[in-house]
Copies of this chain bind each other. A is one copy, B any other.
Amino acid sequence: MRKIWRNVYNWGDPEKPIDKTIEHHINHFKHLLGIDGDRHDLPLNANAQQEVKLDKKSKLTRAALKDLMRFVGSDNVKVDDFSRARHSFGKYYADILKMRMGKVAHPPDAVVCPRTEEDLIKVINYCNTKRIAVVPWGAGSSVTRALEADKGGIALDLSVHLKDVLSLNAEDSTVTVEAGILGPDLEQYLNERGYTCGHFPQSFEFSTVGGWVAARGAGQASTGYGRIEDLLVGLRIVTPAGVISCGNYPAASVGGDIRHFVLGSEGTLGAISRVTLRVRKYNAANSILKSYMFKSFEQAVAAMRDMMQSQVYPPHFFRISDPEETEIGLGMKGKDKGITGALLNMLGFKKGGRSLMYAIFEGDPRQCKLGERVLGKFVRRHGGLSLGSYATRKWLEQRYSSAYMRDPMMDAGIRIDTLETSVHYSRLVELWQAVRAYIKSDGQTLCLTHISHTYETGANLYFIFASPMLLKDELNQFEKFHRGIVETFIAHGGTLSHHHGVGRLVSPLLTKQHSPATLEAWRAVKKALDPKGIMNPGALIF
């Protein structure tokens, strides 16, 4: 791979031509935003093809590098500018913006790739002794600024070597893996043996199991398979205070559950080395794909709520696009001008109100059929209409594609990012309306919203917002706008995040989410496990 800036931040292989469907979607967005062609005049594209050069030289001493090489082998300690740049940021819009401008404020001094848990223990112990900061790094898909090396030190890349499946226990229905394994590798291993992990975040292709746990993530099928905390059985985490091995039982009452402090710890307590997850039997042929149209977002949510509270096994994937996303979705599929849009209008499913629901039932075929039947009943109760499987099949085919859209959209001068929250049903519509009002207040922003993770008591709301980049001060103006969205979440009963996490991005608002004594407890755990504060300093409240 050429060591140019584009290759630092690009999602996927930048040499690979853009998929036709994705290109079509991008053109649709450009059209909606009145943007014609690419905007190579913007300063943000200036460096794309330039070789990566960092202003900051590595501050690690030659002796320290030699020690680290002794622990992990000389090939596994990297100090070149490209490696350091690549391990200094995640995939937050502002991250990419900075990369495009060649700005790396906080690169790590080195990238270290442990080969075994033993290597990991040696490296963390050493860094603890020498007070060298350590930022655990999975596959770099954080969107919360969780991967910045504020204090230099090392980025600990777990995805290079720690990626074996250690065991599949069919009797217990569990799999144990090294934490650096990527989603597709794990899923392929399991599929070949008739199982699935069921965890499919948007970042699936470029995220690790350890990262899923550290960020307390949720996949697209979390409604049926559960969030990562539901899938997590046991883990091992290497902390400066020693290795914690925990879980590995079906359930217990044995005091506080440390797993729930490791979940969402985002590298601030240690580096996760091994994870045991629950798996489930899987046969793709059993899946039932359904899509439904509603006359309003509110009616779609009511049908979803009825299903979730019915005590019938819900769809594994269960989504609703709000009216704006529905319309753009139809547009991208070339349907709003065609017969479907017109027919729907005629039937009272009017543009601007209508909302599309997606459902996929997986697992046992009898359970799938019952789920479909019961959901169908709730859909009809709330005035919805079955559209067959088409929309959901299309969505499934491109389930990971939106991540590939950002780079070319930014090339075209489009600001595009996402934010997400969760909220109880009783305040869901209120929150949705308030956030839309805020986002729309600047006059030219598209706001596509969906629900993609559903519970008995509420759901998440996922907002995608896109507008033409500003010629001046884009970074600061964007960050101000972004903060305002999160503040609107909090003001209307939403959480700071539903599955993206906190990092350095929304951490200033943590005091609005948690009681002071809760944060004191966090600080205490941090102090106990990482007394010198070497693990990901600056993330969360640490």
Q: Which residues of B contact A516 (CB under 8 A)?
A: 242
Is A100 on the interface with B (CB-CB < 8 A)?
Answer: no
Residues on B with C-beta less than 8 A from A424 are 169, 171-172, 174, 248-250
Most buried by B among A218, A456, A460: A456
Flag whether A524 is at the interface (Cβ < 8 A). Answer: yes
C-alpha gap A242/B520 in the complex (Å): 10
| A16 close to B (CB within 8 Å) | no
Q: Which residues of B sit under 8 angstroms from A367, Cβ to Cβ?
A: 310-313, 370
A86-94, A476-484, A492-500: which lies at the B interface? A492-500
User: How would residues 238 to 260 of chain A score, 1 for a CB under 8 Å from any chain B CB and 0 otherwise?
Assistant: 01011111101111111111111
Partner of A254, one of B373, B459, B510: B510
Given contacts A253-B217, A496-B252, contact A426 B171 (CB under 8 A): yes
Residues of B with C-beta under 8 A to A396: none
Is A540 in the interface zone, CB < 8 Å from B?
yes
In the bound complex, do residue B456 and residue A254 qualify as a contact, i.e. CB atoms below 8 Å apart?
no
How many whole Å from A476's CB to the nearest CB in chain B?
25
B497 touches A252 (CB 8 A): yes
Chain B residue at smallest Cβ distance from A248: B424
Contact check, B498 vs A253: say whether CB atoms are below 8 A apart.
Answer: yes
**How many residues in A have their beta carbons less than 8 Å from beta carbons of B?**
93
Interface residue? A501 (CB, 8 A): yes
User: Which of A30-38, A352-360, A435-443, A525-533 is found at the contact surface with chain B?
Assistant: A525-533
User: Are A250 and B496 in contact (CB-based, < 8 A)?
Assistant: no
Q: Is the CB of A515 within 8 A of B242?
A: yes
A251-B453, A424-B249, A496-B254 known; A521 vs B517 contact (CB < 8 Å)? no
Residues of chain B lying within 8 A (CB to CB) of residue A216: 252-253
How far does the alpha carbon of A44 sit from the alpha carbon of B252 in the complex, in Å? 33
A265 CA / B169 CA spacing, docked (Å)? 32
Q: Is A82 an interface residue (CB 8 A)?
A: no
Known: A242-B517, A521-B528. A458 touches B501 (CB 8 A): no
Q: Does A522 contact B (CB under 8 A)?
A: yes
Task: Give bound CA distance, A393 to B248, whole Å.
Answer: 35
Find residues 200-253 in chain A having any chain B CB closer than 8 Å to their own CB. Answer: 215-218, 227, 233, 239, 241-246, 248-253
A311, closest chain B residue (CB): B363
Q: Choose from B243, B312, B455, B521 the contact partner of A366 (Cβ within 8 Å).
A: B312
Chain B residue at minimum C-beta to C-beta distance from A308: B173
A130 at the interface (CB under 8 A from B): no
* Binary CB contact string for chain A from 451 to 467 against chain B (1 if under 8 A, 0 otherwise): 00101111110000000
